[in-house]
Amino acid sequence: MAIKDMEDIEGDRRYGCKTMPIVWGINASKIYVATWMTMLILALGLMAIYMLQLHWWIAITYSVILILLPSIIVFQKLFTAQTPKDFHTLSTIVKLVMFTGILSMIFFRYYS
């Protein structure tokens, strides 16, 4: 996870690790993460549009509040993040988004 690697760059550098932020640099790593975050946000938006057509109101609400909006927040804060604390916050949000994304599979069982 490149965000976590940006958080731990000094320790990784000290131990001779070859992580993306060390090899490519922080700015290139941010662009890489932002590219994939863009793909994720677009896919989530398309999924929300699809769920609207199916009238899956609970799933839409859950997805927008607990997955889509936090992903947009991570994307916005990515470029202003500078300190390990900033990257730690982003990494924590990403982990929560992954967890809520996994939990969202419950809706497939509920709506099928």
Does residue 112 register a pLDDT over 80? Answer: no
Distances (CA, A) of 87 to 31, 46, 105: 14, 28, 28
Q: CB-based contacts of 61: which residues, under 8 Å, 6+ apart?
A: none
Which tens digits make up the pLDDT trace of 78-107? 999 999 999 999 999 999 999 999 999 998
Which tens digits make up the pLDDT trace of 40-51? 999 999 999 999
Mean of pLDDT over the chain: 95
Does residue 14 register a pLDDT over 80? Answer: yes
Domain boundaries, given as residue ranges, for the chain: 2-111
Q: What is the pLDDT of residue 99?
A: 97
* Residue among 57, 71, 50, 32 nearest 107 (CA): 57
